[in-house]
Amino acid sequence: MNVGPRESLRYFAETLVGVELNPGQSALVDLIDGRRDELREIVIRKGRRIGMTMTASLVAAWYGTVLAPHLRKHVLNGEDFRIALVATSRDQASLMLRFIKNFLKQSPMLAEQIVSETADSLRLIGGCEVGASVCSARAHRGWPNALVVIDEAAHYVESEGNMSLSSLLEALRPSQAQFGSLALLLAISTPLDATGTFYELDQQAASGQFRDMAALHLPTVEARPELEPEAERSRLRNPRSFEREYMGNYTSGEQSFPLDLFDACVDPDYVAPRADPGRGVVFGLDGAVSQDAMALVGIDGFGNLVHARAWYPPAGGTIDHRAVLTELIELSCRFDIRAIAYDPAEIHMLVVEALHVGLPMRPVSQAAGRAGGAMARHTTTLIEALTARQVRFYPCPDLRQHLANARFSTRSGGDRLVKASYSKKIDLAIALTLAIGVLYDIERERLLKPEEVYEYISAEQYLVSEGLRPSDLNWNSQDFGYGAEDGLGYEDLGDDWLS
C-alpha cells in the first residue's frame, strides 16, 4: 500500500487530532508507520498508566478514516469493513470507543466522518463500523475485521471455552484474511505469570521467526518517566505486583510465599489475649469436610493475631463442624467479633447454624472472577500489610508451615495463594488471607461511609452558636416566654384556635 506523509499515523495523531505522544505511545506509532506493509500482529507487553488503550483507539480512528479508501477495496459491494474493540469488560471496551469518538469530534473534518453512533458502536462515512464488545469468539465470527484491538489480553480466561483468548484468536484471524497486508491485530496487556496464551503469543512475536509479528515491551518508567515516584511506592508495597504492573515483566507461577515477610512480623514476646470482650476481631474461616484441614484465624483491629487453629479430618472420616461452631460461639463470648469471613462452598449448614445464634458471618467466594476475584485482592492486601509491618504474630509454627506450603499463582488475573503440591496443607494461610482482607475491607467501608456523630446541646447553647443572645428573646434557662408586648406579633389565643 502506497501512502503519503499526510496519511501516516503520526500525522493523523499529532496534526489532525492534536495528540501529544509520550515515549511509549511514540514507539507504537513509529513501529506501525515504519512496517505498515509487513506487520499483521503486534503484541504490546506494558506497564500501567502509559496511555496504550488511548493509543490503540487512535490507531482505530486512523483505520476508520484515513485508511478507509484502501480498505474498501477489499470488501464486497454493499459490505462494510469492521474494527473490533475487544476487552475483558464492556466498560473497558466502551472506553476505547469513547476515545475514538472524542478524537473524531476534535476536528471538524473528522467529525463529518461520523454517520451514526450508539453506546457500543460507531458507523463512519467511509463504510466502516466500529464495534466494542467483551471477549467472545462467537460474537466475532463472520465479520470482515480490518483491525482488531484486544485490550488486557493476558487477563482473559485460560481455557478452551468461548471467552478464552485462544478461542478468540482462532475466530478473529480468519476474519482478517481478506485485507492482506492491511489487516492488523493489536494484543495489549500488563502481563501475569510466564504461562498462558498471551505469554506464548508474546514469545512468538519477540522470537523474530515471524516477519509479520512484532513485540513491544513498554515499562511504565520508560514510557512515562514522570510516574517513577509512584512506581517506586508500588515496589516498596508489593515487589511482585510491581514487576508486572509497572515493569511489564512476567512473574513466576512457582514462586513460594515470602516467609521472610511473615518472620519479620513475629514478636516472640507477644502473647495473644485469651479474652478481651472490648477487642474487635475479624476471623477468617477456611472450610473443609474430609480432604483438607479446616482453619480459623483471628486478627484484631490493630493487626494482632489473637487466634489460630486448624482441624484435621480423621482417617476415612470428616471434620466435626459442631466442634468448630462451638469454638466460634465461645470466641464470641471472649471477643467482640466484627465478622467471620468464610467461603460458602462446603460449610453451608455450619453457616446456617452460626447465623441462627447471631454470629456475623460474611461470605467471600474463592472463585476466580475478574482480576482474580476477591481472594486475589485479599492476597495483595496480605502481602502489603506484611511488607509494611502492619501485622503482629505470636510464634505459631502451624501457621508458618501452611504459609511455607503455599505458592503464588496469577493464572486467574491476580496473585492468589495455591498449594505448592497437592498433598500440602495451606488452610491456615487461606484463613489468614480472609481475615486480613476483610479487616481492611471493613475499614475501607467505614471510611467511605463515616458514622454520623451527634452532639447534644441545650437550646441556649444552640442560640449562642448561631450568634443569637438568648436575652434578646426574653430567654432564661428556666422560662421561655414571649408575647405581643415583645414586638413579636404573638397573641395568646388560649384553646380557641382548635375550633
Q: Which amino acid makes up residue 209?
A: Q
Task: Find the domain containing 165 and state its range.
Answer: 5-245
Residues 437, 473 within the same domain: no
User: Residue 332 corresponds to which cell in the numbers above?
Assistant: 464470641
Element spanning 231, H or E: helix 228-237
Report residue 456: phi and psi, to 5°.
-90, 125
Residue 250 lies in a domain: no
Residues 53, 181 within the same domain: yes
Q: What is the pLDDT of residue 75?
A: 93
CA distance 89 to 342: 27
Residue 124 lies in a domain: yes
CA distance 94 to 84: 11
Residues 407, 473 within the same domain: no
Beta bridge partners of 332: none
As separate numbers, helices (DSSP H) first and strands (DSSP E) second, the chain gives 18, 15
Contact 96, 87 (CB under 8 A): yes
CA distance 156 to 135: 8
Residues 306, 437 within the same domain: yes
Beta bridge partners of 339: 282
Residues 374, 490 within the same domain: no
CA distance 478 to 472: 15
For residue 78, give the CATH number of its domain: 3.40.50.300
Alpha helices, H only, 335-482: 348-356, 373-387, 397-404, 427-448, 459-465
Residue 454 lies in a domain: no
Helix, strand, or coil (residue 194)? coil
Residues contacting 182, CB < 8 A, separation 6+:
1, 67, 70, 71, 74, 146
Residues 440, 475 within the same domain: no
Residues 389, 282 within the same domain: yes
Helix, strand, or coil (residue 266)? strand
Task: Please give the DSSP secondary-structure letter assigned to residue 354.
Answer: H
Residues 192, 213 within the same domain: yes
CA distance 100 to 107: 12
CA distance 109 to 394: 69
Residues 98, 128 within the same domain: yes
Give me the count of residues in the chain: 499
CA distance 94 to 423: 45
Total domains present in the chain: 3
Residue 369 lies in a domain: yes
- Identify the domain boundary among 194, 217, 245: 245
**Contacts made by residues 363-370, CB under 8 angstroms, sequence distance 24+:** 364/434, 364/437, 364/438, 366/430, 368/411, 368/412, 368/413, 368/416, 369/412, 369/413, 370/88, 370/89, 370/155, 370/413
Residue 149 lies in a domain: yes
Q: What is the pLDDT of residue 344?
A: 84
The model's pTM: 0.75
Contact 420, 257 (CB under 8 A): no
CA distance 321 to 125: 67
CA distance 409 to 191: 13
Beta bridge partners of 154: none
| 416-419 vs 305-311, strand pairing mode | unpaired
User: Residue 183 corresponds to which cell in the numbers above?
Assistant: 489487516
Torsion 25-27-30-35 (CA) sign = negative
Residues 58, 102 within the same domain: yes
- Tally of CA atoms within 13 A in the half-sphere of 256 that contains its CB: 14
Contact 372, 412 (CB under 8 A): yes
- Unique residue bearing C-alpha cell 499463582: 409
Contact 374, 437 (CB under 8 A): yes
Residues 198, 320 within the same domain: no
Q: What is the pLDDT of residue 488?
A: 44
Q: What is the pLDDT of residue 468?
A: 73
Q: What is the pLDDT of residue 472?
A: 54
- Unique residue bearing C-alpha cell 515499562: 219
Q: What is the pLDDT of residue 487?
A: 47
Q: What is the pLDDT of residue 160?
A: 61
Residue 252 lies in a domain: no
Question: CA of 408: how far to CAs of 193, 258, 436, in Å?
Answer: 9, 10, 17
List the chain pLDDT tens, one digit each, 499 residues. 556 778 999 999 999 999 999 999 999 999 999 999 899 999 999 999 999 999 999 999 999 999 999 999 999 988 999 999 999 888 999 999 999 999 999 888 899 999 999 999 999 998 999 999 988 777 777 789 999 999 999 988 666 666 688 989 999 999 999 999 999 999 999 998 888 899 999 999 999 999 999 999 999 999 999 999 999 999 999 999 999 999 999 998 778 999 999 999 999 999 999 999 999 999 999 999 988 999 999 999 999 999 999 999 998 899 999 999 999 999 999 999 999 999 888 899 999 999 999 999 999 987 655 555 789 899 999 999 999 999 999 999 999 999 999 999 886 667 889 998 888 999 999 999 999 999 999 998 887 776 667 777 777 777 777 777 666 555 454 554 444 444 444 444 454 434 4
For residue 366, give the CATH number of its domain: 3.30.420.240
- Identify the domain boundary among 196, 216, 245: 245
User: Residue 396 corresponds to which cell in the numbers above?
Assistant: 505459631
Residues 467, 347 within the same domain: no
Residue 254 lies in a domain: no
Torsion 253-259-260-265 (CA) sign = positive
Q: Which amino acid makes up residue 16?
A: L
Residue 253 lies in a domain: no
- Identify the domain boundary among 245, 267, 290: 245
Q: What is the pLDDT of residue 489?
A: 44
